[in-house]
Amino acid sequence: MRGWFDMPKIDVSYTDLCSLLGRKIPIDKLRDDLLYAKSELDEANGDILKIDVKDTNRPDLWSTEGIAREIAGRYGKTGLPKYNVKKGKIVVKLDTKSPVQPMAVCAIARNLKIDSSFLSQIIQLQEKLAVSFGRNRKELSIGVYDLDKIKFPVRYTSKHKTEIKFSPLGYEQEMTAEAILKNHPKGKEFSHLMKDTDIYPVWMDAENKILSMPPIINSNDIGNLTTKTKNVFIECTGYDPKFLLVVIDTIAAQMIDRGGLVESVSNITGTKKVVTPSLATKKFSMDMNYINKVSGLNLDNKTIVSLLKQARYDCQLSGDKLNVMYPSYRSDIMHARDIVEDVIISYGYNNIPAKITSIATRGKLSELETFTGNLYEISIGIGFQEILSYILTNSDNLFSKMNVPQESAVEIENPMSRNWSVFRTWLIPSLLEFLAKNKNVEYPQKIFEIGDCVLLNPKKETKTEDVKKVAFAITDVKVGYEDISSVLDAFMKNVGVNYSLKEKPHTYMINGRSAEIIIGGSSAGFIGEIHPLVLKNWGLQKAVVVFEIDVSYLM
Amino acid sequence: MSQYRLTEEGKKYLKTGLPEKQLIEFLSKSGETEIDIARKELGETFNIALQWCKRFNVVEIKNGRISLTSNKIPDEIHNLEKSLNEVQDEKEPVSSDAQTLVRRNLIEEEKETLERKAEKIVGSEITYLLPEVIASDMWKKKPFRKYNVTVSGPKMDIGKRQPYSRFLSEVKRKLIEMGFIEILGSSITTEFWNFDALFQPQNHPSRDWTQTYSLKYPKKGLLPENKIVQQIAATHENGWKTDGAGWGYKWSSDKAAQLMPVAHDTAISPQTLSSKKLEIPGKYFQIVRCYRPDVIDATHGVEFNQMGGIVVAEDLNFVDLLGLLKEFALDFAGADSVRFLSDYYPFTEPSVQMNVKHPKLGWIEFGGAGIFREEVTKPLGIDLPVIAWGLGIDRLAMHKLKINDIRYLFTQSLEWLKDARVV
């Protein structure tokens, strides 16, 4: 199985990580420890460690603080991390009318000692959350501000785009919203998120100063953190409260891990009040036996409890019922399976003796594959070279260059390149394309391909169907119809199928030198000499003779 | 003087008539008869007689009985006998008949004629050892031209499999030996099989258009039987009967029906699991041509193959899964040193990545696997643990074929193909 999308890759300072853990861990030991935090050390370059976090659903691990928190479980700091959130007095009013990211949650953190490592982690976590968790700001975006530069109360509101004017991050002068989308690098990158509306959301303080314009950009002064910043205001805007709560709790945990004091904020929409962050403890109940059933490890209860504590859970056991307590930012826990995996990770994948169990079953090749095996044997026996082409091509190759009318074919809506945008309906264009790329190679050239074509079929679940075809081509200075008809005859004799040829003109073949291959009364393919007009379209300078048959007629 | 003389056999038939004539004469007397009776009558010449009668199309064999199709003795037979007589009388026979008689070993060329002919062909030394040279014993008189035996002849091309295509066939054979059943994939699938049946929520980032292709035409496909669709919808929305919480959103059948080029081989597995033909225990594999919008470079082709499958049996667990991966590592990479890392797939839990130790390159990623989440198996009606596995087949092929650019797997260079060794 290939990973679906890139796993978050984070930069971590080795000294910073060790200082958060309160001990110096040799790099080789750390390499092993990272496996217990669903991570892999990809590269260690001086002080900078490049770490792959192998879970797109564990944003709590996408920072030095998160990695340290998880690894600490292996150095005695076990059980649920304790996080206190002080009840704060700050109230934020949400009254945006923009369809873009209409929801918001906030938090406040004070008494921070922001050094360069911490600062880069605040920025990195924000970015990873917005990219991986927020689908590149489509689902959510985040802002962190210098609290002391803000005049409260703060509002999340909206304005017509022509009425928005402020200095975006990195620019001294004021710009209109439209100018930002047009000229600012972030504006250009994310302008597509605003394309359906003229009403843009903005964060504004008591003096109507703009803090930011989500999901595009912060302001240059308030929205700019430095190592001098002591207190911060954090907001996260988006659509789905489920995601927003995870994000705000994840950032709050990061601040507390750095010694900050986190205060809650009351987010008011109309008469509705939501207090964030919560960092509440969540509970999950499951059958204790399920762990051994899925893992196959035969662990006793005591071991399981201690493994879970190392993975930063708290546990209560009553009879066979296991209650696990976990922090609110763990949104990945949906099923008892998720707990089982954490038990196994905590046990260590490489501490498990992998035993090869044999399940007696009888192997079988598909009928089609078995049959095409025979076709390969015959084709190479006749002395032809097999080629393998892409199934994707384009309508020029399939139709225009072949001098045949355009037909409807299966087409991709969002191709990377027009060259590969349509699924092939026949093989001859693939063969001609191949020959056109080998004009300087010795002649004669004799090639064949057995490959899938994709045809429309309204009766099928996918409205399409893969059809396996076989095609042969010879090109030479002097080559004619009987050179290919004798190949066809040898091929068919050895397949053991009776066929006949019926003269039939094709626009891509020379008149009087092309025929239909008839098997059991139906047209199963065609044979002939390619028309010079088509050769010219492909830039071919020597004659080409071909045949192509639908494999299902041969079976 | 004639160039020919009769052989002993020729002399015999001159008296008795050619075997085929004897058979015709016998049959015209006896009428339709058992083959064995005719065989007895003609003795050792029967097979020759039958062969020539068939060629002249004068006999018919049905159900072990033989009969004439015409009572007339064909002209060809008369002509051959006439030529035999002419050779006897030292006259010149018609050359085409003479050639036939030579081939039937009934007449042979006179030694002097042979020698004269051979002399003319050979010249001062023998190049090719022609039949005339052998028959005339000319090789005793003339020297053989010496060849430079250390030089090989002109270059020759042979018919060959495309190396990558052949590699895929070999891999399939190996999997069959391991007891796996092959399942065929298809180029086009619905989002339902590619994503929904694998418990990937419809608002999952990987379903964004930058991660997969979608179709312009045709747009929408059909969903399978309603029961499975309902169960999968409920599992996404609220966990259904899986003891899980689900993703908590409103599932859309319209989105699920969208058609797309298949983006990963695992899209096949839920179809295998919901098939009525599923065997338990069962081991299945598929090699699927997959499509994703990647920027094409040395590690990303326009298309790529994925190999994967499932194992379904009572009481399978994570220890069995690691065992299976180890078996793959041994059989496919010859590696007995393996390392397991945790991994994430939306459809398996627990999940694992396997690395194998390469003597030069160190640890390399070899495959991924996991136990399907209950949110995948239960809605498909499967209440057993199912192992899902996948191996990096393209990487394995590149290693085996000693190439470091993935685009060579679908090479367009005839020269490269001609130079590629089979062994």
pLDDT at A490: 97
* A219 and A330 fall within a common domain: no
Last residue within a domain, chosen from A292, A318, A349: A349
Q: How far is CA A356 from CA A17, A293, A299, B57, B388, in A?
A: 39, 18, 20, 67, 16
As a whole number of angstroms, the distance between CA B57 and CA B60 comes to 8
- The token pair that represents A539 in the structure block: 């830039």
A391–B289 C-beta distance less than 8 A:
yes
B31: contact with A, CB 8 A cutoff = no
* A119 and A57 fall within a common domain: no
Residue A1 has pLDDT above 70, yes or no: no
What range does the domain containing A62 cover?
9-75
A383–B319 C-beta distance less than 8 A:
no
* A101 and A215 fall within a common domain: yes
CB-count exposure of residue B350 (10 Å: 0-12, 13-18, 19+): buried
What range does the domain containing B343 cover?
163-419
Last residue within a domain, chosen from A276, A309, A335: A276
Residue B8, Cα to own-chain centre: how many angstroms? 51
Within 10 Å of residue B220's Cβ, how many Cβ atoms?
14
A391: contact with B, CB 8 A cutoff = yes
- Decide if B352 is inside a domain: yes
* B98 and B114 fall within a common domain: no
Q: Are B139 and B126 in contact (CB under 8 A)?
A: yes
Residue A39, C-beta contacts closer than 8 angstroms, at least 6 positions apart: A51, A52, A53, A54, A61, A67
Q: What is the CATH number of the domain that holds B357?
A: 3.30.930.10
- The token pair that represents B161 in the structure block: 């499999």
* A375 and A441 fall within a common domain: yes
Residue A313 has pLDDT above 70, yes or no: yes
B162: contact with A, CB 8 A cutoff = yes
As a whole number of angstroms, the distance between CA B161 and CA B358 comes to 28
Provide, as residue numbers in chain B, all residues whose Cβ is less than 8 Å from the Cβ of A465.
186
* B130 and B199 fall within a common domain: no
Q: What is the CATH number of the domain that holds A253?
A: 3.50.40.10
Tell me: the pLDDT tens digits for B63-101? 889 999 888 888 999 999 999 999 888 888 888 888 899
- Decide if A17 is inside a domain: yes
As a whole number of angstroms, the distance between CA B162 and CA B418 comes to 9
Which residue from B minimizes the CA distance to A130? Answer: B205
* B114 and B100 fall within a common domain: no
pLDDT at B118: 84
- The token pair that represents A388 in the structure block: 């393998």
Q: How far is CA A239 from CA A101, A215, A236, A370, B252, in A?
A: 5, 12, 10, 53, 18
Q: What is the CATH number of the domain that holds B39?
A: 1.10.10
- Decide if A466 is inside a domain: yes
Q: How far is CA A71 from CA A113, A260, A289, B283, in A?
A: 23, 21, 27, 38
B224–A414 C-beta distance less than 8 A:
no
* B228 and B311 fall within a common domain: yes
- Decide if A375 is inside a domain: yes
A363–B302 C-beta distance less than 8 A:
no
A380: contact with B, CB 8 A cutoff = yes
Tell me: the pLDDT tens digits for A44-89? 989 999 999 998 889 999 999 999 999 999 999 999 999 999 999 9
- Decide if A357 is inside a domain: no
SS3 category, A54: coil
A498: contact with B, CB 8 A cutoff = no
Which residue from B minimizes the CA distance to A1? Answer: B390
B184–A368 C-beta distance less than 8 A:
yes
Tell me: the pLDDT tens digits for A127-160? 999 988 888 899 899 999 999 999 999 999 999 9
Q: How far is CA B37 from CA B17, B24, B33, B67, B180, in A?
A: 20, 14, 7, 12, 56
A416–B326 C-beta distance less than 8 A:
no
Provide, as residue numbers in chain A, all residues whose Cβ is less than 8 Å from the Cβ of B277.
none
**CA nearest A40: which of A390, A361, A350, A497?**
A350
Residues of chain B with pLDDT under 50: 1
- Decide if B37 is inside a domain: yes
Last residue within a domain, chosen from A225, A258, A276: A276
Residue A544 is inside which H or E element, if any? strand A543-550
Distance from CA of A291 to the nearest CA of B (A): 10
* A289 and A383 fall within a common domain: no
Residue with tokens 């964030």: A276
Q: Which of residues 501-530 of A touch B (CB under 8 A)?
A: none
* B185 and B215 fall within a common domain: yes
A462–B186 C-beta distance less than 8 A:
yes
- Decide if A362 is inside a domain: no
* B231 and B341 fall within a common domain: yes
Which residue from B minimizes the CA distance to A416? Answer: B293
* A211 and A263 fall within a common domain: yes
Tell me: the pLDDT tens digits for B310-352? 999 999 999 999 999 999 988 888 877 899 999 988 899 999 9
For strand A154-160 and strand A199-204, is the pairing parallel, antiparallel, or unpaired?
Answer: antiparallel
* A144 and A182 fall within a common domain: yes
As a whole number of angstroms, the distance between CA A177 and CA A159 comes to 10
Provide, as residue numbers in chain A, all residues whose Cβ is less than 8 Å from the Cβ of B158.
380, 383
Number of domains in chain B: 3
* B255 and B300 fall within a common domain: yes
b (16+ CB within 10 A) / e for A131-161: ebbbbbbbbbbbbbbbbebbeeebbbbbbeb
- Decide if B158 is inside a domain: no
* B33 and B175 fall within a common domain: no
As a whole number of angstroms, the distance between CA B379 and CA B367 comes to 27
- Decide if A360 is inside a domain: no
- The token pair that represents B38 in the structure block: 């005719």
A390–B180 C-beta distance less than 8 A:
no
pLDDT at A111: 96
Which residue of B160, B162, B174 to mutate against A (max A Cβ within 10 Å)? B162
* B185 and B311 fall within a common domain: yes
Provide, as residue numbers in chain A, all residues whose Cβ is less than 8 Å from the Cβ of B311.
359
Residue A540 has pLDDT above 80, yes or no: yes
B215–A410 C-beta distance less than 8 A:
yes
Local structure of residue B138 (DSSP, 8 states): G
For strand A509-519 and strand A500-503, is the pairing parallel, antiparallel, or unpaired?
Answer: antiparallel
Which residue from B minimizes the CA distance to A430? Answer: B412
Q: What is the CATH number of the domain that holds A433?
A: 3.30.930.10
pLDDT at A102: 96
Q: What is the CATH number of the domain that holds A333?
A: 3.30.56.10
Q: How far is CA A480 from CA A381, A439, A511, A530, B221, in A?
A: 21, 18, 13, 10, 45
* B362 and B375 fall within a common domain: yes
As a whole number of angstroms, the distance between CA B171 and CA B328 comes to 11
**CA nearest A392: which of B410, B66, B185?**
B410
Residue B160, C-beta contacts closer than 8 angstroms, at least 6 positions apart: A380, A385, A386, B417, B418, B420, B422
Residue B86 is inside which H or E element, if any? helix B75-88
Tell me: the pLDDT tens digits for A476-487? 999 999 999 999
B264–A337 C-beta distance less than 8 A:
no
Q: Are A507 and A532 in contact (CB under 8 A)?
A: no
User: Comparing A340 with B208, which gets the higher pLDDT?
Assistant: A340
Determine the average pLDDT of the residues in A240-261.
95
* A430 and A312 fall within a common domain: no
Q: Which of residues 430-469 of A touch B (CB under 8 A)?
A: 433-434, 437-438, 441-442, 445-447, 452, 454, 456, 461-466
Per this entry, what is the length of chain B? 423
Number of domains in chain A: 4
Q: Where are the extended beta strands (E) located within A351-494? A: 385-386, 392-393, 411-412, 422-423, 445-456, 464-476
A335: contact with B, CB 8 A cutoff = yes
When pLDDT is cut at 50, 70 and 90, the band that residue A42 belongs to is: very high
Q: Are A544 and A443 in contact (CB under 8 A)?
A: no
* A133 and A251 fall within a common domain: yes
Q: What are the CB-based long-range contacts (under 8 Å, 24+) for B396-405?
A: B396/B171, B396/B332, B396/B333, B396/B366, B397/B164, B397/B167, B397/B168, B399/B358, B400/B167, B401/B163, B401/B164, B401/B167, B404/B298, B405/B298
* A116 and A221 fall within a common domain: yes
* A225 and A211 fall within a common domain: yes
When pLDDT is cut at 50, 70 and 90, the band that residue A7 belongs to is: confident
- Decide if B354 is inside a domain: yes
Here the ipTM equals 0.89
* A152 and A299 fall within a common domain: no
Residue A109 has pLDDT above 90, yes or no: yes
* B265 and B323 fall within a common domain: yes
As a whole number of angstroms, the distance between CA B23 and CA B69 comes to 13
As a whole number of angstroms, the distance between CA A362 and CA A147 comes to 68
pLDDT at B209: 62
- Decide if A53 is inside a domain: yes
Distance from CA of A439 to the nearest CA of B (A): 10
Q: Which of residues 358-417 of B touch A (CB under 8 A)?
A: 367-371, 373-375, 385, 388-390, 392, 409-415, 417
As a whole number of angstroms, the distance between CA A333 and CA B245 comes to 9
Residue A116 has pLDDT above 60, yes or no: yes
- The token pair that represents A350 in the structure block: 């490489």
pLDDT at A3: 54
Q: Are B221 and B194 in contact (CB under 8 A)?
A: no
B161: contact with A, CB 8 A cutoff = yes
* B306 and B378 fall within a common domain: yes
